[in-house]
Chain A
Amino acid sequence: MKTSEVSAMDRRHFFKLLGGGLFVAYLAEPSKAQERRGRRGGPPRPMEVSAWLHIGEDGSVKIFTGKTEVGQNIRTSLSQAVAEELHVPVASIQMVMADTDLVPFDMGTFGSRSTPDMALHLRKVAAMARQALIDLAAKEWGYSDRHLQAVNGRVIYEPTPGQVEKNVGYGELLKGQQLTATVTDQIKLKPATEWKVAGTSVGKVGGHDFVTGKHHYTTDMSLPGMVHGKVLRAPAYGAKLKSLDDSQAKALEGVTVVRDGDFVGVTAPNPSVATEALGLLKAEWEGGSGPSNKELWQVLKNNFDRGDQGKQIDDALASSAHKLEQTYTVEYIAHCPLETRAGVAEWKDGKVTVWTGSQRPFGVKDELVSAFSLPSEKVRVIVPDTGSGFGGKHSGEAAIEAARLAKAVGKPVKISWSREEEFWWAYFRPAGVIEVKAGVDAEGKLTAWEFHNHNSGGAAIETPYEVPAKFVRSHGSKSPLRQGSYRGLAASANCFARESAMDELAAAAEMDPLEFRLKNLKDERLRAVLEAAAKRFEWKGRKGHCGIACGIDKGGYVANCVQIELRGEEVKIVRIVAAFECGAIVNPMHLKNQVEGSIVMGLGGALFEAIQFADGKILNPVFSKYRVPRFSDVPPIDIVLVNRPDLPSAGAGECPIMAIAPAIGSAIFEATKKRLRAMPKSV
């Protein structure tokens, strides 16, 4: 076993914390650990621990990872990955996640990276641990490890099949030991074709606590002596506090008002009193403004030089049989995680511990370190399994506010944002303007493709279709609203514009939308999902108003077919077929749920979700004015999972959201001959 690569500090820290046993670490290149902190051009950075495993002298198995559980069920699928290689039951594994004092650094849970990176690291860690246990038994018993195997948490000696002559539990084997190991390149993993635990539909780990209400989200936490905080918000973005009269608020029993520059907050014995106190603060503000939805497209659109590539496109278009020049738009939308941002903060001996719902525990830790000028070891961030994120919980606002108030009042403080605060003071999925120029020859082959996305991002911007003259660019803009990550944010926008344009071109060429796509598509994996969806949907013999679209993002391949009905102006989705492929399937049930959840979320963005804003104000910051999909919006969704055990597993939380809007657009055209060129349909 190699022991040199785990630092003595880590080793001491671990055995002190957890007692003896076996400790296995995974060391990754900093880039693979999603490390971004190193300086460019500097010396090579040392390998970073990305995850570690501990098997105790009592046989307990603990996995330590910085990933967060936000409903994607990564706690479950990572447990399966470990169980598969360590040969222990899933239920015996304890996943210690997202506690910055206990787990190695991790950039965060985003970009569909947990499955391709963390699951792979953990499989290797578990395989290494299994090998170490077998080696240990071989040494102890004096047998060659050829006849030893690990079965259900025990190492057994089975010289002839069916005749177990010796067996010992992992814990027993580790009595009195303090062993460390790091994963080496030689470690072999089982191919997905041999998986027995991974690849199966294991139910949500800890599911019982969710159906009984026992699970404590940050929002549910309570600490001894804790008070509840609320923060005074500006009436418009950019407004500055001119004056404050807090006399009435302060007079309420148990209320403390905290002021620090423009930051004003109150604490109270319960949230109702905190809200009441906030209402009694008399604040005068000045300034604050901004554009509205009406000016948005002009604000976002850049001027750019088309140069030589533009000329190539123009030349190709000049001789094309059919041409298209169109602009597509996507509005700002909100993540609306059902659990709003929340933070609970406690200061003890100069150290602050904050519990918060976040996808980036170490990012929140950095924010706290900088906000309070603290050394790193004086900040601990713990993320309880969280009430969803969808890319919307990368930042630590509620954590910092809770820590500020807790420091000022000398008590633990909980901050739980109202829905209105979540709409106003979090951040949005970027809005975007996308310009497309394209041409098709008389045979229905693409001749030219020019594509410019202003503001909504570059992911999945490349066309998967074959085209001789191409010019594709993503242009940043100065966004009037605060914007950030979102589930498949750019992929959805780019796929909407691209697939809608493809549909328009198919119509211009008088070809079937599926046939047109296949004619211009070589990518075998995308063809496979397109054909799988079309087959299940019975596209060729379809009835009613139907549409189709497909796309590739973050290692996933998706195709959607939809059927709609029109009820006046309202589009009613009758049925959806989705085919999805992301390599070897880790958990079919949870994969299906991710695909379905993505599609449902995509329906909102396609049909009705949009942030209304003007003069620095959000005009629809409540669910009664911002419609999200409900039961009555969701039709039967038939999902075809295409398993590719010969390919590495990719993430699945984002890609399947991308194709639903253009598929609906395609169906709307079949029904009305009118094109959907805006997301959502009705603003």
Chain B
Amino acid sequence: MATITRLHVNGRDVALQADGERILLSVLRDDLGLTGCKPGCGEGQCGACTVLVDGKPVRSCSMKAAAVGEGKVRTIESLEQIGKLHPVQQAFLDADAMQCGYCTCGMIMSAVALLEEHPAPTEQQFLAAMDGNICRCGIYNNIRDAVKRAAETLTKNP
């Protein structure tokens, strides 16, 4: 069993001792206390556990911690800066794009990755990025609206 001793998370190197075979989700949550990423299905189907590795969205429930290597991990906890919400977070609040909120962090991380790659996503790009995230409360249309609002804000103030 390969033990990992270091993980680059949210802009800094974190020292830890964890079995690299463990899923990234558990290491982030149970060892580092970053509980914004949520367990939802354990098979990469619901997107609640989404974090970014080198800017790409990954399902942290289906990725071994050791597979991150030198990659830079970003979680929801990194988005708010000096008390200011990330435009995507703010848009989710403004569009009331959550009910129980359990999917919200994963949705936001998927949307951040989408808008970083495609500032004005087409429907196809939107679905490719977001269709893997389940909102069981079903307010998909508000989430769509939030992503659209965030895209507009980011285009105006990149």
Interface residues of A (CB under 8 A from B): 70-73, 201, 203-204, 207-208, 210-217, 219-220, 222, 228, 270-272, 336-340, 385-388, 390, 416, 418-420, 589-590, 593, 596-601, 622-624, 628-632, 634, 636-637
Chain A residues whose C-beta falls within 8 Å of the C-beta of B104 in the assembled complex: 210-211
User: Helix, strand, loop or mixed for chain B's interface?
Assistant: loop
Interface string of B81-115 (1 = CB under 8 A from A): 00001000110110010111111110010000000
Q: Whole-angstrom distance between the alpha carbons of A340 and B75 in the complex?
A: 21
Separation in Å of the B153 CB from the closest CB of chain A?
14
Q: Mask for B32-58, Cβ within 8 A of A = 1, else 0?
A: 011111111111011010000000000
Residue interface mask B128-158, A partner, CB < 8 A = 1: 0011111111111111100000000000000
CB <8 Å contact, A623 and B108 = no
How close is A525's CB to chain B, nearest CB, in angstroms?
A: 25
**Prevailing SS type, chain A contact patch:** loop
Instruction: Indicate if the CB atoms of B99 and A416 lie closer than 8 Å.
Output: no
Task: Knowing A220-B35, A631-B127, A631-B131 are in contact, say whether A387-B139 is a contact too (CB < 8 A).
Answer: no
Q: When the two chains form their complex, are residues A599 and B138 in contact, meaning their CB atoms are under 8 A apart? A: yes
Please judge, given known A-B contacts A338-B40, A416-B39, A624-B45, whether A212 and B142 are in contact too, CB under 8 Å. no
In the assembly, what is the distance between CA of A577 and CA of B97, in Å? 20
A204 touches B96 (CB 8 A): yes
Q: Does B26 contact A (CB under 8 A)?
A: yes
Q: How far, in whole Å, are A388 and B139 apart by their CA atoms in the complex?
A: 13
Contacts A212-B76, A600-B138, A624-B43 given: A270-B98 contact, CB under 8 Å? Answer: no
Give the distance to chain B from A319, nearest Cβ to Cβ, in Å. Answer: 46
The answer on a CB contact under 8 Å between A336 and B136 is yes
Given contacts A212-B79, A600-B138, A636-B141, is CB(A339)–CB(B99) below 8 Å?
no
Contact A219:B39 (CB < 8 A) given known A601-B138, A634-B140: yes
B-side interface residues toward A, CB under 8 Å? 19, 21-23, 26, 29-31, 33-43, 45-46, 48, 75-77, 79-80, 85, 89-90, 92-93, 96, 98-105, 108, 126-127, 130-144
Instruction: Say how far A419's CB is from chain B's closest CB, in angstroms.
Output: 5
| A387-B101, A589-B96 given; A213·B85 CB < 8 A | no
With beta carbons under 8 angstroms apart, the residue of B35, B80, B132, B137 that contacts A71 is B137
Q: Which residue of B lies closest to A271 (CB)?
A: B26
Enumerate chain A residues within 8 angstroms of B126, measured Cβ to Cβ. Answer: 631
Is the CB–CB distance between B102 and A338 below 8 Å? yes
Closest chain-B Cβ to A280's Cβ sits at a distance in Å of 15
Q: Is the CB of A71 within 8 A of B43?
A: no
- CB < 8 Å neighbour of B26 from A204, A270, A390: A270
Given A216-B35, A220-B29, A419-B40, A634:B141 Cβ within 8 A: yes
List 9 A-B pairs, minimum CB-CB distance, nearest first: A213-B36, A71-B100, A600-B138, A387-B102, A210-B101, A623-B45, A220-B35, A71-B99, A597-B138
* Bound-state Cα–Cα, A13 to B102, Å: 35
Q: Contact between B89 and A212 (Cβ–Cβ < 8 Å)? A: yes
CB pair A272–B22 under 8 Å, yes or no, is yes
Taking CB as reference atom, which chain A residue is nearest B99?
A71
A336–B41 CA distance with the chains assembled, in angstroms: 10
Please give, as numbers and ranges, the residues of chain B lying within 8 Å of A629 by CB-CB distance. Answer: 138, 140
Q: What is the chain B residue whose CB lies nearest that of A72? A: B99
Complex partner residue of A213 from B46, B75, B135, CB under 8 angstroms: B75
CA distance A87 to B131 in the complex (A): 44
